[in-house]
Amino acid sequence: MYEFIFYLSSAIAVVAAGAILVVRHPVHAALYLIVSLLALALLFFLLGAPLLAALQVMLYAGAIMVLFLFMMMVMNLRTERNLPLLLPGSWGGIALLALLLWLVLLLLLSRSSLHEAGSITVIEPKEVGSALFGPYLVVVEAAAILLLAALVAALYLSRRGKR
Integer Cα distance of 139 and 130 in angstroms:
14
**Amino acid symbol at 77:** L
Task: Report percent pLDDT > 90 for the chain.
Answer: 10
Note the pLDDT of residue 145.
94
Average pLDDT, whole number, for the chain?
79
Per-residue pLDDT reduced to its tens digit, 29-61: 888 888 899 999 999 988 888 888 888 888 887
H or E stretch at 67: helix 65-75
d(CA 71, CA 137): 28
Closest by alpha carbon to 40, among 16, 3, 68, 10? 10
pLDDT given for residue 149 in this prediction: 92
Nearest by Cα to 2 from 39, 32, 35, 47? 47
Would the pTM count as exceeding 0.85? no
pLDDT score, position 40: 92
Burial class (CB in 10 A: 0-12, 13-18, 19+), 46: buried
Coil, strand or helix at 156:
helix
Q: Give the pLDDT confidence score for residue 159 in this predicted structure.
A: 77
**CA dist., res. 100 & res. 102, Å (int):** 5
* pLDDT tens column, 124-163: 778 878 887 888 889 889 988 998 998 888 888 877 766 5
